[in-house]
Structure 1
């Protein structure tokens, strides 16, 4: 189903000199920034009667804006009762601690049983927000913190904050191989040229920046703390594999077990049985989209990673460096 809509207004003083997509987000907060941007590029926006299809076009206060577009109703998904580990919730946002195995959004092979279906059951009004308020995603087997918008204005502000790199996301990971120091990985990422389900470092890909530091060293592994500056699909997993330090358990990107020499049977079993990427979104910090208050949350390391780290520590104790 669809309906034709006509939005009109004048650029407010607060949007003077801003980009067109930013001005529209301020003028028409009931619509997501991505939808407004699509209307611009599709030629549905006029400034002073002239079609403008460049989101970066600068506008001046007082300019007459007209949006003449078709509003297509998004696919409706089923609400399903599921347990959610809610870390924080108010009228505008909620923060969840996602477990391993939970897919964020329905897609090929996973039509339901996702976080989106759970959100629709927990807060039915969220069906009025595009993508049920999901701002960013975590891979199915990555655990940790995610923020979700409960209203369109909150989503608009959070999407803008994400694009402007104003949301801090910090991760904990265990990678293969001993690393001596932290650093920054600035390598573009795109779809793998031949393996379509994989991502890869590609010269003409989208910019991707990951910061990392060594938290603890083991004989043949390293515990890392990482911070995303961008949010590309599989970014940490691809970047660490590019450094030849793939994450433990990440069989997609080469994270098969690599035990140290003379490893105990217990450590060998722990590594063999760790069947997901050892990656956890441990800390999330942002300005509240409505109040502007700076907020921060932490999620404890999940049990399987706690056990993995404990096994690696025990191995280090049993084989001290001479």
Structure 2
């Protein structure tokens, strides 16, 4: 499936002296710089009717620029009828509340049954948008809010805001091991683990990663947190919390094994043993709408398993407080 693209414009005189790729990025802001550069190199751009395939070539101003190309789906995936919990939808974007045990994008070991497959069934035209409009991801067992772009234009603007860290706020609720005394900011670069292929880790040569966190509630040996991502690295919150020696409850990849406190109630002991996913939920999403610019906010209720875990932790704290007295 492909979408035909036909763009024309006259280069304003005030842009004279700038490079071709810079000019096109300003004239056609609905498309990313990397996409525009590819079109130039692939002979899809003409200046006054002549092909110009040198991105760094400078123009004088006043030229007629044309782009004739098509957007191909990066890869054909199967459309599957998978239920999505859609909390908002319009012509440009889609916001879903992802459940646990649902992979976002097909990959090794998960060729189908993903959010992407579900999006192709729900909105077939999204096939012409790279990655079916997915601009940020949640791990398989992380629940909560995700925004998806339904058009190239929406995707371009969402990705720009995400990269610039503007008008794109993601907040999470989590429960970690250990009692934290105060909130703070974690600024530690993240990269692929040196020996474990499926793991990420704090690495000196990794990509910059910033996580803000605050304490929402303290228990005897656990803490409920609210976190805000400033960057969006793979497994960022999980890696950063493990780096602080406070791995998330249930996060078997990063050391979140059961750690019941002394004299834990039987209910808490059982709950911690049976909690098989990281206790992490994308609770709040705020963006500027990629087309209208309107500031939009959504919140997703805390999932039942995390609600039950929180209640059991409170009951354990209360029971042991009564014993002390």
TM range (shorter): 0.7 to 0.9
| Structure 1 match to 2:35 | 35
Distance between the aligned counterparts of 1:315 and 1:91, measured in 2? 48
Per-residue displacement from partner, 1:202-246 (whole Å, max 9, x unpaired)? 001110000000000000000000000000000000000000000
| Structure 2 match to 1:95 | 95
- Measured on the aligned residues, the alpha-carbon RMSD in Å equals 3.4
Higher mean displacement: 21-30 or 306-315: 21-30
Question: Secondary structure at the residue paired with 1:121?
Answer: helix
Q: Is the 8 A contact 1:33 1:156 kept in 2?
A: no
Q: CA deviation at 1:70?
A: 9.3
Q: Is the 8 A contact 2:71 2:128 kept in 1?
A: no
Q: CA deviation at 1:137?
A: 0.3
Distance between the aligned counterparts of 2:317 and 2:293, measured in 1? 45
Distance between the aligned counterparts of 1:10 and 1:50, measured in 2? 18
Change (3 A) 1:132 1:247: same
Q: Is the 8 A contact 1:47 1:63 kept in 2?
A: no
Q: CA deviation at 1:196?
A: 1.1
Is 1:241 the counterpart of 2:242 in the alignment? Answer: yes
Q: CA deviation at 1:22?
A: 7.1
Change (3 A) 1:141 1:45: same
Distance between the aligned counterparts of 1:37 and 1:298, measured in 2? 38
Q: Is the 8 A contact 2:213 2:226 kept in 1?
A: yes
Q: Is the 8 A contact 1:248 1:256 kept in 2?
A: yes
Matches within 5 A, 1:208-219: 208-219=209-220
Distance between the aligned counterparts of 2:99 and 2:13, measured in 1? 45
Change (3 A) 1:316 1:7: same
1:51 to 31, 46, 54: 54
Q: CA deviation at 1:58?
A: 11
| Structure 2 match to 1:188 | 189
| Structure 1 match to 2:225 | 224
Change (3 A) 1:174 1:66: same
| Structure 1 match to 2:145 | 145
Is 1:285 the counterpart of 2:265 in the alignment? Answer: no
Higher mean displacement: 123-132 or 42-51: 42-51
Question: Secondary structure at the residue paired with 2:153?
Answer: helix
Question: Secondary structure at the residue paired with 1:190?
Answer: strand
Change (3 A) 1:34 1:115: farther
Distance between the aligned counterparts of 1:260 and 1:17, measured in 2? 68
Q: Is the 8 A contact 1:141 1:277 kept in 2?
A: yes
| Structure 2 gap segments, 5+ residues each | none
Matches within 5 A, 1:1-322: 9-11=9-11, 24-28=24-28, 31-32=31-32, 34-36=34-36, 51-52=54-55, 73-166=73-166, 167-320=168-321
Higher mean displacement: 59-68 or 188-197: 59-68
Question: Secondary structure at the residue paired with 2:162?
Answer: helix
Question: Secondary structure at the residue paired with 2:238?
Answer: helix
Q: CA deviation at 1:27?
A: 3.4
Q: CA deviation at 1:36?
A: 3.5
Distance between the aligned counterparts of 1:174 and 1:16, measured in 2? 55
Question: Secondary structure at the residue paired with 1:308?
Answer: helix
Change (3 A) 1:314 1:18: farther
Distance between the aligned counterparts of 1:14 and 1:80, measured in 2? 50
How many residue pairs are counted as aligned between the two chains?
A: 318
- Calculate the TM-score normalised by the size of structure 2: 0.86
Distance between the aligned counterparts of 1:216 and 1:8, measured in 2? 57
Larger Rg computed on CA atoms: 2
Distance between the aligned counterparts of 1:185 and 1:233, measured in 2? 15
Q: Is the 8 A contact 2:73 2:130 kept in 1?
A: no
Per-residue displacement from partner, 1:276-315 (whole Å, max 9, x unpaired)? 0000000000111111110000000000000100110001
